[in-house]
Amino acid sequence: MKRLPWSLIVGGTITAILIFAAIVSQFWTPVDPTAINIGNRLKGPGEGGILGSDHFGRDELSMIMAGAWVSLGIAFSAIAVGGLIGTVLGVVAASERGPFEALIMRVNDVLFAFPPVLSAILLAAILGGGPVTTIVAIALFMIPVFARVTRSAALQIWARDYILAARMSGKSSARITLEHVIPNIAAQIIVQIAIQTGLGILTEAGLSFLGLGIAPPTPSWGRMLADAQTYLTIAPHLVFVPGIAICTAVLGLNLLGDGLRDLTDPRRRQST
């Protein structure tokens, strides 16, 4: 029995707790996360709920749980869209080569020039802020990220002897891509999904912080921090709680990605 990398265990545990909290929040939270209770305003941790309460007396723990659902939902949606398009572009570029590949890489350069905050500002001018703007802005940036990773991974597979054998046996390049290339780069794609989900959560928090993300009263970690800014000196716990939540979530996903990489890439395992 191989020993699992510690990063996989720690990262996997944090991610599992995060997903569990997000799902549970849809059925149960200690208090309704949108319930306003002015009598319970700006209470510290312990006095008004386990993690305290905000300027409307809303329960921080409940908001963090509900915020996990929003963060993960937006990050996963963005990856489902951007990751899929990027992966398809990457494997097609690797199998077709030539002018088509050059065109795809050029499109990637264009997309890469727009950090999510910029595309979100552009999109918000048309659509206003909200989940769609956030998801599209993050997804647009994920396309070149996934396209680059899958293209270079797929190119390495295409250089292998067994691809030559598959070609000799008369398989089309589409079939080779589906039967040989994608299964062999799947591990690298999964690693990217874990790491990019972390980045997606960071970006979502940033966009909500700017007020371009999901609209109130739906709780969101980024907006909790934006609200906390007003009460920095009176209620510093409002800065710590959502910040630590974001940090832990991203850290967990990054560790999970690292652990998966160590597990699936034998070269890395030897070197570490």
Partner 1 sequence: MRHIAQSLVGLIITLLVVSFVIFLVMEAVPGDPAEIILGMSAAPDTLAALRSQLGLDQPFLVRYSNWLIGLLQGDLGDSYTYSTSVSQLIGERLEVTLPLTGLAALLSVLISVPLGVLAAARPNGLVDMFASLFSQIGIAVPNFWVGLLLILGVALTFGWFPAGGFPGWDAGFWSALNALILPSIALAIPQAAVLTRVTRAAVIEVTNEDFVRTARAKGATPSHALWRHIVPNAMIPIVTMLGMQISVLIAGAVLVENVFTLPGMGTLAYQALAQRDLIVIQNVVLFFAAIVMGINFLVDALYTVLDPRLRVRR
Out of 228, 241, 256, 260, point to the residue binding partner 1 (CB under 8 A).
228
Contact between 236 and partner 1 per CB under 8 A: yes
Contact between 99 and partner 1 per CB under 8 A: no
Q: In whole angstroms, what is the distance from residue 100 CA to residue 105 CA?
A: 9
Contact between 114 and partner 1 per CB under 8 A: yes
Contact between 229 and partner 1 per CB under 8 A: yes
Task: Tell me which stretch binds partner 1 (CB under 8 A): 42-50, 51-59, 74-82, 104-112.
Answer: 104-112
Shortest Cβ 11–partner 1 spacing (Å): 10
DSSP code string of the chain: -PPPPHHHHHHHHHHHHHHHHHHHHTT--SS-TT---GGGTTPPTTTSSTT-B-TT--BHHHHHHHHHHHHHHHHHHHHHHHHHHHHHHHHHHHHH-HHHHHHHHHHHHHHHTS-HHHHHHHHHHHH-SSHHHHHHHHHHHHHHHHHHHHHHHHHHHHTSHHHHHHHHTT--HHHHIIIIIHHHHHHHHHHHHHHHHHHHHHHHHHHHHTT-SSPTTS--HHHHHHHHGGGTTT-THHHHHHHHHHHHHHHHHHHHHHHHHHHH-HHHHHH-
Out of 210, 217, 263, 264, point to the residue binding partner 1 (CB under 8 A).
210
Among residue numbers 169 through 198, which ones bind partner 1 (CB under 8 A)?
A: 198
Look at the block and give the residue holding tokens 């569990």: 20
Among residue numbers 13 through 32, which ones bind partner 1 (CB under 8 A)?
A: none
Residue among 35 and 132 whose Cβ is closer to partner 1: 132
Task: Tell me which stretch binds partner 1 (CB under 8 A): 15-23, 35-43, 80-88, 124-132.
Answer: 124-132
Q: In whole angstroms, what is the distance from residue 67 CA to residue 63 CA?
A: 6
Residue among 49 and 259 whose Cβ is closer to partner 1: 259
Contact between 38 and partner 1 per CB under 8 A: no
Contact between 205 and partner 1 per CB under 8 A: yes
Contact between 46 and partner 1 per CB under 8 A: no
Shortest Cβ 105–partner 1 spacing (Å): 10
Contact between 110 and partner 1 per CB under 8 A: yes
Contact between 243 and partner 1 per CB under 8 A: yes
Contact between 122 and partner 1 per CB under 8 A: yes
Contacting residues for 27 by C-beta, under 8 A, at least 6 apart: none
Residues forming the site for partner 1 (CB under 8 A): 106, 109-110, 112-118, 121-126, 198, 202, 205-206, 209-210, 225, 228-229, 232-233, 236, 239, 243, 246-248, 250-251, 254-255, 271
